[in-house]
């Protein structure tokens, strides 16, 4: 029974990891992003009267050390930004990915995106992404034109090593509060 569950879990993770192995254009888009997300033009964004917001640091691991420093385990990471306010929208204005040395690898947003109440947007760092390293991170900025509850911003990492499945979550840390 235990071996069967482990086999199915391993197959599921393998399928998930192979699905992440797509073109570079698809990798930099939001996971599951469809017409439900409203983009905000830079002109409109610059004229907003912001009441609340945060700049958040989120640790991400594209790989971790295994049994020794010579054996790294590759991971995929999903950044999740969840609007926890039940009545008001927020605007996600920055989603930038940096490597271990603080060099920006990519910007995941072409323009700011509105999240409706209780809506979530996710961004993927694929399994085969090796640029980030063990000290990779996201910088996320969100803002609002009214008082809102702060969103949950976290990264979920998953990977496999032999028959072992690895998964863990890292919470974002507020670097700066934004208001006018």
Q: Give the model confidence (pLDDT) of 4-58 as tens digits.
A: 555 554 545 445 545 544 434 434 445 655 557 778 887 787 777 788 999 999 9
Question: Is 146 inside any structural domain?
Answer: yes
pLDDT confidence of residue 21? 43
Domain harbouring 14, CATH code: 2.60.290.11
Question: Is 58 inside any structural domain?
Answer: yes
For all residues of the chain together, what is the average pLDDT?
83
What CA–CA distance (Å, rounded) separates 166 from 164? Answer: 6
* Phi, psi for 121 (deg, rounded to 5): -130, 145
Question: Is 27 inside any structural domain?
Answer: no
Question: Is 98 inside any structural domain?
Answer: yes
Cα-Cα-Cα-Cα dihedral sign, residues 143, 144, 149, 151 = negative
Question: Is 112 inside any structural domain?
Answer: yes
In the chain, how many domains are there? 1
Q: Which domain holds residue 149?
A: 2-21+35-177
Question: Is 30 inside any structural domain?
Answer: no
pLDDT confidence of residue 120? 96
């Amino acid at each position: 029974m235990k071996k069967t569950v482990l086999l199915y879990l391993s197959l599921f993770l393998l399928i998930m990891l192979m699905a992440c192995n797509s073109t570079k254009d698809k990798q930099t888009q939001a996971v599951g992003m469809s017409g439900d997300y409203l983009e905000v033009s830079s002109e409109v964004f610059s004229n907003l009267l912001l009441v609340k917001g945060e700049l958040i640091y989120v640790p991400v691991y594209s790989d971790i050390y295994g049994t020794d420093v010579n054996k790294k385990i590759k991971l995929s990471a999903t950044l999740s930004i969840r609007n926890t306010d039940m009545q008001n929208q927020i605007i996600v204005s920055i989603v930038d990915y940096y490597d271990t040395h603080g060099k920006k690898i990519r910007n995941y947003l072409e323009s700011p995106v509105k999240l409706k109440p209780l809506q979530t947007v996710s961004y993927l760092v694929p399994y085969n992404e090796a640029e980030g390293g063990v000290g990779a991170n996201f910088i996320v900025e969100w803002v609002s034109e009214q008082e809102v509850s702060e969103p949950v911003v976290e990264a979920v990492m998953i990977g496999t090593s032999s028959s072992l499945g690895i998964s863990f979550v890292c919470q974002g840390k507020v670097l700066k509060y934004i208001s006018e």
